[in-house]
A = this chain, B = another copy of it.
Amino acid sequence: MSAYAELMDFQRETEALVQVMGRLGWDQETMMPRGAATQRSEEMAALEGVLHARRTDPRIGEWLEAAEAPDAAGEAAMRLIRRDFARHTRVPARLASELARVTSISQGVWAEARERDEVGHFLPMLAQVVALRREEAAALADGGDPYDALLDDYEPGASGAEIAAMFARMRPRLVALREAVLGSGRERAPLKGLYPSEAQMRLARRLAELFGYDFARGRLDLAVHPFSSGSGSDVRITTRVAEHDPFNCLYSTIHETGHAAYEQGIDPAWRLTPLGQGGSMGVHESQSRIFENQIGRSRAFCGYLHSLMAAEFGDMGLEGAEQFYATVNRVAPGYIRTEADEVQYNLHIMMRFDLERELVAGRLEAAQLEDAWNARFEADFGVAVDRPAHGILQDVHWSIGLFGYFPTYALGNVYAGCLHAALRRDLPDLDAQLAAGDLAPATGWLREKVQRHGGLYRPREVIARACGGEPDEAPLLDYLEAKFGALYGL
């Protein structure tokens, strides 16, 4: 057996075990009895130990040395394995297990702090997480930039400096758009009334199918936070239901369907190989965002969704499809990133990006983070944070050590902007199709151009190949200005 074949066999078993871990995570959020939490953490820790041992197995180094890839896909797979092996072997086992232990505690402290709406013990706990992640970043960076070393785990090849430069270009136009919209005097009311859970879930299933989700290789359940999990032929999604706000359930479902469509759309030949998952968090988010926003919140598709919802819920207190479209795309002040509209969302990300870069670089300490957050929020959004749950406690990410993750959300929006421009170029009848509820041409285009490639190309490369040019922020900003300019009469 060749070194290449041995490496791929070994890797395939690892990928299978990664899927098992994903299934445990899914179960924990959807099915697990509440009394099983402690035991589940032991089960996951045992499996994590197995995975860590496999990921740092010295034979991987030997195989990589000796193996010859038979083709371009094999080369791409070896590149991904080499990258993972380097990352995992650079971090000492002691540090890896300490990080797992501390972030697990820290997440509990965060959850309790958020529940009580008191920062309390969270910042001292976060200081420990920051210290460990700085240590890890230094080990990973190997002399390079520590923040980039963390970022690279979520968006291979991206750099903090490039993202900062891009954000600097985006910021003035987003701030101007936000001020113009909020100053337009056209306030939109949110939806009124109650929308029964069962009808929302029925519609959610319908939308998932409409957007191409394959229920033979997945399922839709309820969870506190919507997510997509799994790769290959078992990709599951969750959503949530608030009876006063059906858009929460429906657009969460469309968003997660975008993530799942990516995983379900990958060439089945790459199942359980390094190429068998989405290429980066940014590319992943581009798929969920273009499903949710550029397609799902378009005027054309809103017309179709309005008819579906009206059949289920009556007129919803709205005058017609145009008011429905305006309501779906309502821009309003708010504290919470996950509830932010398309205009303001990236401003939330920029703020987190700047703060976490300072933290990782050691120019900001966890103890100063609440003040820094609140000052920056007021500067960017014009209102003071009224309570910690609306401020520094709103996101789970930092509590579990996710530094370098936030910018991938904005990158996803930028990529979605590029893909949307290319999609409209390639499908001149897109609006007529969306208005008729025919999503197959759009979802088929994304599958063909992006999703089927899985991990074959580097993140920017897959977007560039799909769009016919290097991705940048201009298409997103043009789209936002045109859409919200029209909606708010600017």
Q: Which residues of B contact A43 (CB under 8 A)?
A: 16-17, 19-20, 23
Q: Which residues of B contact A216 (CB under 8 A)?
A: 33-35
CB distance B20 to A214 under 8 Å?
no
Known: A24-B23, A233-B36. A31 touches B272 (CB 8 A): no
Interface: A42 (CB within 8 A): yes
Q: Which residues of B contact A24 (CB under 8 A)?
A: 20, 23
Interface: A232 (CB within 8 A): yes
Interface of A is mostly: helix
CB distance B217 to A33 under 8 Å?
yes
Report the copy number of this chain in the oligomer. 2
Interface: A388 (CB within 8 A): no
A22 to B, closest residue via Cβ = B43
Measured in the bound complex, the distance between the Cα atoms of B233 and A27 in whole Å is 14
Contact of A219 among B33, B217, B233, B236 (CB under 8 A): B33
Q: Which residues of B contact A49 (CB under 8 A)?
A: 13
As a 0/1 sequence over residues 1 to 42 of chain A, the CB contacts with chain B under 8 angstroms (1 = contact) are: 000000000001110110110011001000111111011101
Q: Which residues of B contact A436 (CB under 8 A)?
A: none
CB distance B46 to A16 under 8 Å?
yes
Measured in the bound complex, the distance between the Cα atoms of B443 and A482 in whole Å is 70
Interface: A153 (CB within 8 A): no
CB distance B20 to A234 under 8 Å?
no
Interface: A45 (CB within 8 A): yes
A43 to B, closest residue via Cβ = B16
CB distance B33 to A20 under 8 Å?
no
The listed residue with most B CB atoms (<10 A of its CB), out of A27, A38, A234, A272, is: A234
Known: A27-B27, A40-B234, A271-B39. A17 touches B32 (CB 8 A): no
CB distance B13 to A233 under 8 Å?
no
Measured in the bound complex, the distance between the Cα atoms of B154 and A25 in whole Å is 32
Q: Which residues of B contact A39 (CB under 8 A)?
A: 16, 19, 232-234, 271-272
Measured in the bound complex, the distance between the Cα atoms of B30 and A219 in whole Å is 12
Measured in the bound complex, the distance between the Cα atoms of B27 and A23 in whole Å is 9
Interface: A361 (CB within 8 A): no
CB distance A47 to B33 under 8 Å?
no
Measured in the bound complex, the distance between the Cα atoms of B31 and A45 in whole Å is 24
Interface: A50 (CB within 8 A): yes
A214 to B, closest residue via Cβ = B35
CB distance A217 to B20 under 8 Å?
no
Contact of A272 among B33, B42, B218, B234 (CB under 8 A): B42
Known: A17-B50, A23-B24, A39-B19. A31 touches B232 (CB 8 A): no
Measured in the bound complex, the distance between the Cα atoms of B231 and A40 in whole Å is 11
A39-84 contacts to B (CB < 8 Å): 39-40, 42-43, 45-47, 49-50
A residues with a Cβ closer than 8 A to B are: 12-14, 16-17, 19-20, 23-24, 27, 31-36, 38-40, 42-43, 45-47, 49-50, 214-219, 232-234, 236, 271-272
> Can you report 6 A-B residue pairs in the complex whose CB atoms are below 8 A from each other?
A17-B43, A20-B20, A33-B218, A36-B233, A36-B234, A39-B233
Known: A20-B47, A40-B234. 8 other contacts (CB 8 A): A16-B45, A16-B47, A23-B43, A33-B218, A33-B236, A35-B217, A36-B217, A39-B272
